[in-house]
């Protein structure tokens, strides 16, 4: 194993290789999928934040983006479906020195794991949640998800989606997150900067990353991954500090991006220590 690893190191030389389990690369994500970009921005942020890699833990749930935990050469945890945040909460409470990153998808964090997310935000557990939003359940075949835009076609909504999608930053804000941002995979530097700020921030930080899903969502909505990125280039508006209730994802009116919320609130552990351990 180690021989194989050192061989791989000789062959390549990517600057992020030491944060990757190189024997598992290439990863399973499809050509044009944005998860790899979100993942590399995240690794870049870990590198530039100056946090010791041995104090960083990556937790992810099930789904395409859930595979990230298996590719990162840090302590990592690939958990049960939707339960990435409870595992991460446990890690953080057991060892408060750790910087816990939850890297997962919209289906995992907001559909099956929706309750965990809102309660972790309410308690203000000190962790960084990166949600890669590809607007459908990519791994299981492109079914309609809680984030699928109105009238978008998926496997289970062949005539168009009749339901209204969640606004993820609004949920995170309403539940009590202290840092809320949204970017697309085209905004790699902004993602890296946000993740870095979130890592160093005390409190629950939520970063949504919009990403193309060329094989499932894109194919059924007649969008190649490059066309999706062109939409991200032409139709996005950066409004830092915008109220999360006003941040739409509507290509007609513009996709609002930016760092929406950055406030300070006592964290779960601080409150517990103050109230229950003050004697």
Partner 1 sequence: MEFWRIPLDVEEIQITRGVVHILEERCKGCGYCIEFCPRQVLAFSSRFNERGYHPPVIKNPDDCVNCHYCEIICPEFAIYSIEISEQDDKRPDPRLHSNPR
- Residues of this chain that interact with partner 1 (CB under 8 A) are 12-17, 20, 25-27, 29-37, 39-41, 44, 185-186, 188-189, 192, 225-226, 229
**DSSP H or E run through 60:** strand 56-60
What is d(CA 46, CA 53) in angstroms, rounded to the nearest whole number?
Answer: 7
Closest approach of Cβ 195 to partner 1, in Å?
12
Give the nearer residue to partner 1 in terms of CB position, either 226 or 263: 226
What string of DSSP letters covers 71-119? HBSSEEEE-STT-HHHHHHHHHHH-TTSEEEEEEEHIIIIIITHHHHHH
Q: In the bound complex, what is the minimum distance in angstroms from residue 5's beta carbon to partner 1?
A: 15
Instruction: Using the minimum distance from each CB to partner 1, give the nearer residue, 53 or 176.
Output: 53
**Nearest approach, Cβ of 226 to partner 1 (angstroms)?**
6
What is the spatial distance between Cα 228 and Cα 221, in angstroms, rounded to a whole number?
A: 10
43 sits in the region (left: phi over 0; alpha: psi -120 to 50; else beta) called: alpha
| Contacts with 9 (C-beta within 8 Å, 6 or more apart), sequence order | 17, 22
Q: To the nearest whole angstrom, how small is the minimum distance from the Cβ of residue 12 to partner 1?
A: 5
Q: Which is nearer to partner 1, 44 or 116 (CB)?
A: 44
User: Of the two residues 16 and 51, which places its CB atom closer to partner 1 in the complex?
Assistant: 16
C-alpha separations of 277 from 126, 127, 146 in Å:
19, 22, 40
Minimum Å gap between C-beta 139 and partner 1 is 16
Q: How far is the CB of 43 from partner 1 (least distance, A)?
A: 9
* Angle at 21 (CA atoms; ends 20, 23), nearest 5 degrees: 130
Residue whose CB is less far from partner 1, 9 or 253: 9
Closest CB to partner 1 among 21 and 123?
A: 21
| Closest alpha carbon to 88 in 56, 64, 115 | 56
Please tell me the distance from the alpha carbon of residue 214 to that of residue 90, in angstroms, as a whole number: 35
Residue with Cβ nearer partner 1 (186 or 255)? 186
Give the shortest CB-31-to-partner 1 separation in angstroms. 4
């Amino acid at each position: 194993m180690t021989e194989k690893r050192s061989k791989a190191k000789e062959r390549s030389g990517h600057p992020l290789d030491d944060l990757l389990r190189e024997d598992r690369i290439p990863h399973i994500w499809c050509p044009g999928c944005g998860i790899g970009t979100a993942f590399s921005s995240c690794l870049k942020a870990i590198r530039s934040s100056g946090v010791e890699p041995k104090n960083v833990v990556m937790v992810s749930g099930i789904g395409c983006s859930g595979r990230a935990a298996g590719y990162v050469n840090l302590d990592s945890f690939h958990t049960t479906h939707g339960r990435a945040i409870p595992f991460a909460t446990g890690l953080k409470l057991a060892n408060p020195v750790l910087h816990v990153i939850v890297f997962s998808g919209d289906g995992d964090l907001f559909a099956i794991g929706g309750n965990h997310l809102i309660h972790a935000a309410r308690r203000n557990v000190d962790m960084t949640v990166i949600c890669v939003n590809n607007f459908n359940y990519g791994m299981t075949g492109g079914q309609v998800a809680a984030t699928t835009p109105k009238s978008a076609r998926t496997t289970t909504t062949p005539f168009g989606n009749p339901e209204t999608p969640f606004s993820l930053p609004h949920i995170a804000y309403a539940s009590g997150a202290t840092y809320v941002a949204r970017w697309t995979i085209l905004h790699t530097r902004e993602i890296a900067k946000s993740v870095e700020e979130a890592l160093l921030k005390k409190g629950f930080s939520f970063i949504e990353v919009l990403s193309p899903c060329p094989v499932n969502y894109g194919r059924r909505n007649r969008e190649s991954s490059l066309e999706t990125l062109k939409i991200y280039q032409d139709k996005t508006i950066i409004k830092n500090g915008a109220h999360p209730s006003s941040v739409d994802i509507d290509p007609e009116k513009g996709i609002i991006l930016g760092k929406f919320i950055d406030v300070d609130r006592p964290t779960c552990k601080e409150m517990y220590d103050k109230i229950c351990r003050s004697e």
